[in-house]
Amino acid sequence: MNVRQVLVFPAGTEIGLEIFHALQYCKEIQLHGAGQPISNPAQLVYPDYHPLPSIHEADWLPRLVTLCKQLKIDYIFPAYDDAIIALHEVAEQLPAVIVGASAEVCSLTRLKSSTYARLRDTVAVPRVFRHADEVTGFPVFVKPDRGQGSQGVARCDDAGALHRACAALPDPLICQYLPGEEFTVDCFSDRERGLLYASARRRLRIRNGIAVNSVTEELPQAQAMAARISDELNMRGAWFFQVKRAADGALTLLEVAPRIAGSMSTNRVRGVNFPLLSLYEQERAPLGILAYEGCVEVDRALGNRYRHDVQYATLYVDLDDTLIFRDQVNTQVVSLVYRALNLKRKVKLITRHRHDLDATLARHRLAGLFDEIIHITDGTPKSAFIRESDAILVDDSYAERLEVSRSRGIHTFDCSMIDMLLSSPDQ
């Protein structure tokens, strides 16, 4: 098996943390984090964290190149907006591939003004005023042309507030004020097949520009916008865009970002592992998406919490690369097993383990944990042994999950998704 060496830089952002949570249990990925040697959560989250200067320091590039060579890095995930641009500018000097959209798209979308200009004939964009003197009615909205995280944004209700807001920013953008609901649309595109996934989530509570409470929502208009943006910009990999309702209720574009979003965890637990899919897309590897279609709400208060409507009476768990990962017990999966037992659910092990199963379970102290053990020693599909209609399956194999999902019509999960099952209220 080809294990890809993946570096996340800078790893201490919300983006870097979401990439870690999405990829930490992927057997084909070895994760490395890098960033400034200052207090940040990545130092406690990433087992392998390396100090590197900020992109604004003179020696950041040679230090990064040296680290990539030492670790034999295959891919770099940029985990900050400015880092995306900085890495693309030096891409030819890097001994690793930058995961994400093209340099052209990254440069275009870094400025809201150029994004609106490019997409004004594709989707609804806000009216932009070139100068404060053009504004004849209030309120209007002022924000940095190059910015993120709601930094420097202001609603202006009169001319005085408008001039003060513009004076406070080096690159102010004066826009039509949009009073309605705000949504983020998490997307994944293949460079040849186009848009493969788009899911809207309503931003119910926002702190420092981050949606700390978000709930998935069916939004056909946003789906159509996603397809048009993807086609116009030739998007590839994971990306997202934000929209807000105008006074007439029309969804209007706020920004497009060709990167992972911290709250993409809302769709990750539904089965859409954006970082992993982006790596597959980068390699032009075969890929598919098997998503749980129910509504999911995430609340982020120094940790993610989920609400969902998954009900089950029997939990089926795979062994290799799921319950046992790199010859160690996956404690998160064990937590799910004990949670199921505490809720009086049945727990069954279903495995194609090639060695002495009893010895393996005994060595990892997992013997006696299951209501039933199903040891498949031929090519019989797992669906043949799953008879309950109210069961769920946890398995690292996409092919196994897809076969069971199609054959039995039950929900299936990989290890990156079970946060949702662990953190929700008892049900």
150 with 208: CB under 8 angstroms? Answer: yes
pLDDT of residue 182: 96
**105 lies in some domain:** no
Averaged pLDDT score across all residues of the chain: 95
Span 121-148, average pLDDT: 92
Domain-ending residue, one of 304, 331, 355: 304
Q: What is the mean pLDDT of residues 159-184?
A: 94
Tell me, yes or no, whether 172 and 190 share the same domain.
Answer: no
Average pLDDT over residues 184-206: 96
Q: Are residues 170 and 217 in the same domain?
A: no
**Cα R_g (the chain), whole angstroms:** 23
At 379, is the pLDDT very low, low, confident or very high (cuts 50, 70, 90)?
Answer: very high
The more confident residue out of 2 and 382 is: 382
Query: H or E segment at 280?
Result: helix 274-283
Residues 161 and 207 in one domain: no
Final residue of a structural domain among 117, 141, 176 = 176
pTM of the model as a whole: 0.89
Gap between the Cα atoms of 87 and 84, Å rounded: 5
Domain boundary among 255, 274, 304: 304
Whether 45 is covered by a domain: the verdict is yes
User: What confidence score (pLDDT) does residue 285 get?
Assistant: 95
Q: pLDDT band at residue 151, thresholds of 50, 70 and 90?
A: confident
Pair (166, 235) in one structural domain: no
Q: Is 275 helix (H, G, I), strand (E, B) or coil?
A: helix
CATH of the domain at 337: 3.40.50.1000
Largest Cα–Cα separation, the chain: 79
Question: Which residue range(s) make up the domain with 70?
Answer: 4-99
Count: domains in the chain: 4
| pLDDT tens track for 351-360 | 999 999 999 9
164 within a domain of the structure (yes/no)? yes
Looking at the chain, the whole-number percentage of residues with pLDDT higher than 90 is: 91
Q: Are 320 and 298 part of one and the same domain?
A: no
Residue 59 lies in a domain: yes
The arithmetic mean of pLDDT across residues 323-337, rounded, is 97
Q: Both 76 and 28 in a single domain?
A: yes
Residue 149 pLDDT > 90, yes or no? no
Please indicate, yes or no, whether residues 285 and 315 belong to a single structural domain of this protein. Answer: no
120 part of a folded domain? no
DSSP 320: B
Asked if pLDDT for residue 114 goes beyond 70, the answer is: yes
Let me know whether 186 and 281 are in one domain: yes
The pLDDT of residue 324: 98
Q: Average pLDDT in the 233-259 region? A: 97
State whether 193 and 80 are in the same domain: no
Residue 150: pLDDT band (50, 70, 90) is low
Residue range 210-226: mean pLDDT, rounded: 94
Residue 62, domain CATH: 3.40.50.20
What are the C-alpha distances in Å from 66 to residues 55, 89, 191, 366? 15, 18, 31, 43
pLDDT digits (tens, 9 = 90+) for 286-319: 999 999 999 999 998 877 878 899 999 999 999 9
325 domain residue, yes or no: yes
Same domain, 250 and 299: yes
pLDDT of residue 278 exceeding 90, the answer is yes
Q: Is the pLDDT of residue 419 over 80?
A: yes
CATH number at residue 147: 3.30.1490
| pLDDT for 322 beyond 80 | yes
Cα separation, 285 vs 372, in Å, equals: 36
Q: Which of 111, 113, 175, 172 has the alpha carbon at shortest distance from 141?
A: 175
Q: What CATH number corresponds to the domain at position 256?
A: 3.30.470.20
Mean pLDDT of 110-139: 95
Identify whether 94 is part of a domain.
yes
331 and 365 assigned to the same domain: yes
Whole-angstrom Cα distance, residue 349 to residue 93? 48
Record the tokens describing residue 43, joined without a space. 């130092």
- Residue 156 domain flag: yes
pLDDT for the residue numbered 208: 79
- In this structure, the answer to whether residues 220 and 318 fall within a common structural domain is no
